[in-house]
Structure formats: C-alpha cells, structure tokens
Amino acid sequence: MKTGIKVSGKATVIYLKRDESQTHARFGFIVGKTVSGAVGRNLIKRRLRSISRELLINHPAGFDLVIRALPEAKEFEWNRLHQEVLDNAKAAFSK
C-alpha cells in the first residue's frame, strides 16, 4: 500500500500496485470495526469479493489490488458501492 497508485472515493480507497511478473492477480480487503459490526463487515467483504471477480475478467494478471472500506460504505447500497469500486478501479488502471 505504500507504493503504487491510490484512488479514493466516498466509501472506498483503492490501492493498486502493478507487477507484470505475476501470473495471477491478488486482492486484499480492509474492513475495520469503524465500518460496522461483524455482520455488516462481512456483508461488505462479500460485496467487495463479488466486485473483484468482475475486475478479474478485464484484468486477469499482473497486479495487487487492496480495497479499503470507509465507514460510509455501510450506508451504500449494492449498486452504488459496485459503481464506485468499478469507477475507482478503472481510474487506477488508467494511471
């Protein structure tokens, strides 16, 4: 997270580090206790995993991507969170 590209949104922060030597993509998720209780955190992680599967279709290898959920993420419904993560990821990959 210290190196690479950082793109912030209202509910998430995306950290992208490219590494062309990798044969696969790696994802990480940070959903702290400030976001919600255990049930809410797990719901957000499941949503982020689902969105990450979509990112794999367009970008199958060569990067590490960490998505950090901010406290506002608990207020976002599925479509809004989905759109924000995809838009931020697109911006990160275009840099």
pLDDT at res. 32: 96
pLDDT tens digits, 14-25 = 999 998 888 899
Over the stretch 57-88, which tens digit does the pLDDT of each residue have? 988 898 999 999 999 999 999 999 999 999 99
CA torsion angle 61 45 73 92 (round to 10)? -10
Q: Which of 80, 82, 20, 95 is nearest to 55 (CA)?
A: 82
Asked whether residue 3 carries a pLDDT value surpassing 90, the answer given is no
Determine the average pLDDT of the residues in 40-56.
Answer: 95
Q: Which of 43, 17, 40, 39 is nearest to 28 (CA)?
A: 17
pLDDT of 22 reads: 85
pTM: 0.92
Domains along the chain?
A: 5-94 (3.30.230.10)
